[in-house]
Structure 1
Amino acid sequence: MEILRRQRWWLGRIVALPFQLLVFAAVSFLLVQSIPGDPVAVLTGGQATEENRAAIEKELGLDGSLLHQLLHYLGNAIQFDLGNSIISGQSVADEFGERLPATVELALMGVLLSIVVAVAFAYLAVMRPKSPLAYLVRGFARIAGGLPEFAVAVAAVFVFYATLHWAPAPLGRLSGDIAEVPKVTGMPFLDTVLTLRFDATWSMLGHLVLPVGVLVICQSGVLIKMMLAGLEEAVDSAPTRFRIATGASAATVRASLFRRALPPAVTTCGTLFGYTLGGAVIMESIFGFAGIGGYLADAVSSGDIPAMQGFLVIVAAVSLLVFLVVDLVNMTLDPRRRPGVRAEG
């Protein structure tokens, strides 16, 4: 029992995850059900007889009361069954399984590069507060969070593709003369490396520069703000002055600075991933990438209720997993954040 008590800071969050996901699934179901439209009419073109209509509603799980439909949907969701798409007839879970890794990969690229940019520039700005770079970094952090991805992406395509001809055509991840890469993980760029298709790797890098750059420009500002605030506070803290006074090495002082500055930034990374995932869906539409962006657009335009519900549930599941990782990393960096644990700073 003592071991469980000491480990409850992470066990409790893992145990709570399925219940949180069920709540999200219920909310997603009710939200999509409130959208006007008749999925049976979409599927049949409005030509179904009463008997056919009843049979189709039963097959889609749309018969009975709203409570009955909700319980039926949650029961299937527990078994990882999100239903079949009204338009394609394929399993929604399978279709998202094919498309989601590519979108997640694009979002992860944006988040990881945003973290690198934020940590590097915030550190330089704090260490050299009077330098021109520091003023540029602080100015960028103030305006970057208000830049919409779609506007920056369209401007980037106009400038770097249509005007300067520096970027490839926004028609997918690969140039037309590059053969398709065998699927291993479902993450296109990673698959080019795993299959040793380095011609595709270089082609894909060229196509990823603009969309990933747009995500970094639009999302890194908030993270830079958090890092600036955290580093400035850590630099002036008593523990930092003590380490400097006792002759600690520069590497030790830097490690102490980042350990104290990172927890708020790590928390921000969880929220940032959610925003970047939404931005990645927009990037896929603008740059012609395969992923969940086009699938969602088709589902909304056709009134495909199971596909829309599946999208919300899967995005919620990914987001909850990210927030779980963020919590665990935060509590590892700073034990004082663990429930029931007290530690000295």
Structure 2
Amino acid sequence: MDTILSHTSALQYLRTPPVVHELYGGYPDVSTREGKLAVRSAEHPFGAVNLPLHLLVFDKCSVHQLRTCIFHTWTGELPAGAIVETDRNLAVTGPLFTLLCLAPSLSTAHMTMLLYEMMGGFAVYDPPRQIIDTLQRLVDEGRLPAIGGWRPALDTSGRLTTLWRRPPLVERAEISRFIDEMACAPGIKCMRDALRDVHGVASSPFEVDSSMLLGMPTRRGGWGLGPFEHNYPIRLTRKARLIAGQGMCYADLYLEGSEFAPPLVIECQGNRYHTGSARSAADDNRALALASMGIEVIRLRFEQLNSPERLREVAGHIARIRGIELSCKSTGLLKKELELRTQVLVDWWTIGQYRKRAPRRR
């Protein structure tokens, strides 16, 4: 199979729910003249995979001047699982090899965020309007199949969002083995540095943003209050079960207690998912149940995360609960904080948009 999606195109393909691939059926084979014509004539020939397509080739003779394609040459040895074949006239680079291809154009913070997404139970998917309309109609009619465990996260009005739930694509052990195997590859240092700030299996971009801004060390722009455990399971006591109406709950972000501080749970409450009487009641019951077990609960909302001043107060409150005192940040640390915020508080769909770095001046 000659057509291999890579870089941004592979990332967007991996973020596309299987139901969308089923709706499209076969995709154009750009290794043929007919396929090239189909790509040029169709508005969205590959669903949410935007043009130009990023294609992987293995020799420079395969590189052509096409307005709809950007070719990337790989001449080294391929790691296991680097290429995944599909039944849709194309292949796609696997999750980790895709990130390695993108690494030279990514910041460490963005690599951390993409690792969280690949390891997490969520995907960010922002398709063209025509696909949204089709998917929304299936949702409204109750006919949207959960292929491969992919389910859309709906807002309180039942409308699609850009968030989908799905099983993790990779595990941490796989990433570590991949980094060891590709130790000399360009961009592998970015992956290695990013992995140190990935802790657990996240369920949403908001969780990741919160974990990074509050938990990362101050020398890298965070508040140094982590690392947090994501989706930490908490078995409720009998009393707490009666309050919550459930036997188990999962903390978005969790810090273990100590001799001097109680356990701490941070609930990351996005406006689109935690409004409405039913959901608010469930959140209240769960918070009260955890409090009955001596667990501190903080409800964090995006507007608090989005404001440096408000987030500083949240960080100070967490520090007081933990029995620690936050030091005033120096000018250099404030600059690092601004840099991290600029990287983290972005539209997740735009992360991984390939940009070729300009050559260094000599």
Q: TM-score range by the shorter chain?
A: under 0.3
More strand by share: 2
User: TM-score under structure 2 normalisation?
Assistant: 0.22
Which is bigger in relative contact order (C-alpha 8 A, separation at least 6)?
1
More helix by share: 1
Which of the pair has more CA radius of gyration?
1
User: TM-score under structure 1 normalisation?
Assistant: 0.23
